[in-house]
Amino acid sequence: MWRLAQIVGLSPQTISNISRRLLDQNLIVEAGKEGSGPGKPRTILRLNPGGMYALGVHLDPAVTTFVVLDLVGAVVRHSRIKTPGGNDPAAVIATIAAELDQLVNDSGVDRSRIAGLGVAAPGPIDLDNGTVVDPPLLPGWDRVELRDALAKATGYSVLVDKDVTSAAVAETWAGGPSGAGSFVFMYMGTGIGCGIVLNDEVVRGTSGNAGEIGHIVVDPDGPPVTAASAAASSPPPFRRSWWPKQRPLESCPAPRPGPPPKSSRVSPTSVHGPTAGTNGRPRSWTSPPSWWPGQFQW
């Protein structure tokens, strides 16, 4: 107990009381005794894998993955289906609920021991309300209240987070040395994004969408972008109404010419994350990034 007390900063008596409650709930179990010197041997405690379970869903525009995990994070059962097409979120939600029900039945897990459901959804999202906010590769999913809809359809407590953020959290828990300290988790699937961890803390940004990687049209008359790169990119940040206090493009002041540029066109690719703009918001035309090439001055 004293080792746990040192780690969490609580008294040994408090740790003992908490441990007793967890033992009574079958969430932890005794795993033997340890001690080589005088005095009472210490009791070794470990998590009970079957003490509690959780369900997980990764909603991707192409493939939706389902999983049942035990208390130590081991996969008990999983399945994968093609994400239903069309522009009907209600049909997709109904499919998810039915697949989860079948997965739990196949796993043999006691439903009373399922703590809840975690959903990794493509961004952008409204983290506070559990809402999916117009993901670029899921047409028709504008302001879909995914958390509440799945809670109603499944009867479980539901937590919705952005897919790349969920992956970064998983990496900090189970990634070993690669999931320690500070790192960027790049996700390249149907879309592209990244989860950011600084000093073992996941960076979410003010809106919960740090790490969004988007395509910004800098010059409407610039060179065309290939279909592959455009398909993997998000819409321009200034088109996303959920960013607070963002000025529309039409209201931005006209740029003043600067030194003669080597090229009249700017690369249309930009990454906006937790340090990309004030308070974690993506930079827009009214707030050019520090690496701006210099052909315009604000």
Residue 206 counted as domain residue: no
Cβ neighbours, 10 Å, residue 278? 10
Q: Identify the domain boundary among 173, 195, 223.
A: 173
Residue 200 counted as domain residue: no
Residue 78 counted as domain residue: yes
For the chain, where are the alpha helices, taking DSSP H only?
A: 2-8, 12-24, 89-107, 146-154, 163-174, 227-231
Residue 192 counted as domain residue: no
| 123 and 36 both lie in a single domain | no
| 19 and 81 both lie in a single domain | no
Mind giving me the DSSP string for 222-266? SPPPPHHHHHTSBPPGGG-TTSTTPPPGGGSPPPEE-SPPS-S--
| 131 and 77 both lie in a single domain | yes
Structure tokens at 43: 């009791």
| 77 and 149 both lie in a single domain | yes
pLDDT at 279: 39
- 8 A C-beta contact, residue 121 and residue 59: yes
Residue 149 counted as domain residue: yes
| 82 and 31 both lie in a single domain | no
Q: Which residues pair with 193 in a beta bridge?
A: 187, 212
Q: Rounded to whole angstroms, how far apart are CA atoms 111 and 117?
A: 12
| 115 and 219 both lie in a single domain | no
pLDDT at 226: 60
Residue 199 counted as domain residue: no
Residue 255 counted as domain residue: yes
- How far apart, in Å, are the Cα atoms of 118 and each of 163, 178, 284? 11, 23, 33
Number of domains composing the chain: 3
Q: What is the CATH number of the domain that holds 150?
A: 3.30.420.40
The per-residue pLDDT string of the chain (298 residues; one tens digit each, 9 = 90 and over) reads 677 788 888 888 898 899 999 999 999 999 888 777 677 788 888 999 999 999 999 999 999 999 999 999 999 999 999 999 878 999 999 999 999 999 999 999 999 999 999 999 998 999 999 999 989 889 999 999 999 999 999 999 999 999 999 999 999 988 778 888 899 988 887 878 889 999 989 998 888 888 887 666 667 787 776 644 554 444 443 333 343 444 444 444 455 555 544 433 333 333 333 333 333 333 333 344 444 443 333 3
Contacts of 142 (CB under 8 A, 6+ apart): 133, 134
| 14 and 77 both lie in a single domain | no
pLDDT at 262: 43
Domain that holds residue 70: 51-173
pLDDT at 7: 83
| 63 and 6 both lie in a single domain | no
| 75 and 96 both lie in a single domain | yes
What does the chain come to in residues?
Answer: 298
- 8 A C-beta contact, residue 68 and residue 103: yes
Q: Cα Rg for the chain, rounded, in angstroms?
A: 24
| 34 and 66 both lie in a single domain | no
| 68 and 81 both lie in a single domain | yes
Mind giving me the DSSP string for 166-206? HHHHHHHHH-GGGGSSSEEEEEESSSEEEEEEETTEEE--T
Residue 77 counted as domain residue: yes
- Tell me the CA end-to-end span of the chain in Å, nearest whole number: 60
Helix pair angle (146-154, 89-107), 10° resolution: 40
| 155 and 123 both lie in a single domain | yes
Using alpha carbons, select from 8, 280, 58 the residue that is nearest to residue 166. 58
Tokens 């690719």 belong to 269
